[in-house]
Amino acid sequence: MRGAIRGFIEATTSYRVCDAVDNDASAIHKATDNHCDLILIHLTPPLQDSLVMVSVLRSKLPRVKIVGVSTLSVDLGNWVSPGIGLDAVLTNQDGLSKLAETLKALMPEPARE
């Protein structure tokens, strides 16, 4: 799934994807080392683990946009975004076009090189 999202973002926007990781420790390390502007985080059960990760990332990177993508079919946006530090929450069912819309709303696209 990460590969599909990365390919879609690179093909349809000017955003540069700097990395993809599969665990919390790697995510924190890569996000702080790469000086990224955006983090997509997969919100998976147990949800509390994902929300702790968001809280850690938000404390270390207050200006970075963080978008959660939930595997759950329920809308978590109103429940988790305001207090946890997510800038937006999507579900897998929202699809890639909704992801692109959300990214463009959160941050201006850099010029393509």
Question: In this predicted structure, what is the pLDDT of residue 79?
Answer: 56
Question: In this predicted structure, what is the pLDDT of residue 78?
Answer: 54
What φ, ψ does residue 39 adopt, rounded to 5°? -130, 130
Question: In this predicted structure, what is the pLDDT of residue 103?
Answer: 86
Evaluate the CA torsion angle 10, 107, 58, 87 in order and state its sign.
Answer: negative
Question: In this predicted structure, what is the pLDDT of residue 32?
Answer: 77
Residues in the chain predicted with pLDDT less than 70, given as ranges, are 1, 16, 18-25, 72-83, 109-113
Question: What value does the mean pLDDT of the chain take?
Answer: 76
Domains and CATH numbers, the chain: 2-106 (3.40.50.2300)
Question: In this predicted structure, what is the pLDDT of residue 41?
Answer: 82
Q: Say whether 11 sits in a helix, a strand or coil.
A: helix
Question: In this predicted structure, what is the pLDDT of residue 38?
Answer: 81
